[in-house]
Amino acid sequence: MQLSEAVQKRIINLCKEQNITLNKLATNSGLSYSTIFSIFYGKSKSPKLATILHICEGFNIELTDFFKDSLFKDVEFEDE
C-alpha cells in the first residue's frame, strides 16, 4: 500500500470511529474543507506532515497515535 493510500484510509477509519463528518473535521482541524476532501478522496497524493498534524488535532489524537496503526506497517513510499 502506498503512503498516501494509508493516510487516506486512516482518516476514513477515524471519521467512522469518531462519527465525524468531513465538514466537522475541517472545522476541528482548522483546515479548509477542500484540503480534507482532497486527502479523503485520494486527490492529494502527498499531504504534508503539518497537514496531518492538524488533522490529528481535529480528531483530538497525537501524531504518534495516527501512525500507530497496522495500515502503516508495510507502507510503500511514492517517488517525488
Ordered by where they begin, the domains of the chain are: 3-68 (1.10.260.40)
Report whether 59 contacts 28 (CB < 8 A).
yes
Q: 15 with 21: CB under 8 angstroms?
A: yes
**pLDDT, tens only, 27-73:** 999 999 999 999 988 888 888 999 999 999 999 999 999 999 999 88
How confident is residue 14, by pLDDT bands cut at 50, 70 and 90? very high
Main-chain phi, psi angles of 22, to 5 degrees: -60, -40
